[in-house]
Structure 1
Amino acid sequence: MRTRFALAAAAPAAACAVLAMTLASAAQAQLHDPATPLAVAAKVALRGEANSIAVREMRIVRKNDILVVQADMANMGRTDRTVFYRFKWLDNVGNQVGDGESWKQMSVLGLGQQTVKSVAPTSAAVDLRLEMNVEPR
């Protein structure tokens, strides 16, 4: 009987743990802008608030064994926004490749869209993160 009681008592605790993990993952999924697809949101590292800027699409191709990326940033608001961004290139185990890019500044007009482009520094890069900081007006 004791074993049976221990298992019955453990079951609600396990269910609570699963529920907590599910809620945590749902909260993480809601951190990105709803207009940003989940696959793209996984590649974006937002520093601060998005302030009406959404990365709507990201195209990544390998040309001559080097990764090339284009990302479309859309301003969902009516006021112009200043976006600071850089690409961080990663190898197959997640380590940064190269010295890293410097921050670039770009204005995205109200209800407008801008495309940013970058090329990996070496063929060792197999993944990337788009780091962004959007200035509030």
Structure 2
Amino acid sequence: MTFRIPLAAAGLALLALAGGASAQQHDPATPLAVASKIALRGEANEIAVREMRIVRKNDILVVQADMANMGRTDRTVFYRFKWLDNVGNQVGDGESWKQMTVLGLGQQTVKSVAPTGAAVDLRLEMNVEPR
């Protein structure tokens, strides 16, 4: 009986996390640490951001993100990076939307560089077209 109480509490905590995660509707194959950097517009449609590498080079943030298509159907992904300062405000004018196709069961890497050294965080905004 005492084992079930912590398990139930853990289950409630997972449901709370899943509720927050489902608001973003990220693919379950996307790690939560990466999902916190993604602003998904609509459904993930079998696209998962498996890994995101963020480094600071010459006082400028540089990011690479690996997008994997978990399905057999090619997907069109629209994406852009939003760079944020230390209080969460957008830095720079913002990137324009970019379009790419991720082949079925394939992977693509997207890259970006912050516009200024004031950027300390980012969000990868994505819209995945259904087929």
- Distance in structure 2 (CA, Å) of the matches to 1:113 and 1:25: 27
Count residues in correspondence.
Answer: 119
Which stretches in structure 1 are left out of the alignment for 5+ residues?
A: 1-19
| Aligned AA (2:127) | N
Q: Give 3-state SS (helix, strand or coil) of 1:45's partner.
A: strand
Q: Give 3-state SS (helix, strand or coil) of 1:39's partner.
A: helix
**CA deviations over 1:92-120 (Å, ceiling 9, x no partner):** 00000000000000000000000000000
Between Structure 1 and Structure 2, which shows a larger proportion of helix residues?
Answer: 1
Give 2:41's aligned residue: 47
Q: 2:111 aligns with which of 114, 117, 122?
A: 117
With the length of structure 2 as denominator, give the TM-score of the two structures: 0.86
Give the greater-gyration-radius structure (CA).
1
Give 1:29's aligned residue: 21
- Distance in structure 2 (CA, Å) of the matches to 1:104 and 1:97: 19
Aligned structure 1 segments of 4 or more residues deviating by more than 4 angstroms: 20-23
* Identity within the alignment, %: 89
Which stretches in structure 2 are left out of the alignment for 5+ residues?
A: 1-11
Q: Give 3-state SS (helix, strand or coil) of 2:54's partner.
A: strand
With the length of structure 1 as denominator, give the TM-score of the two structures: 0.82
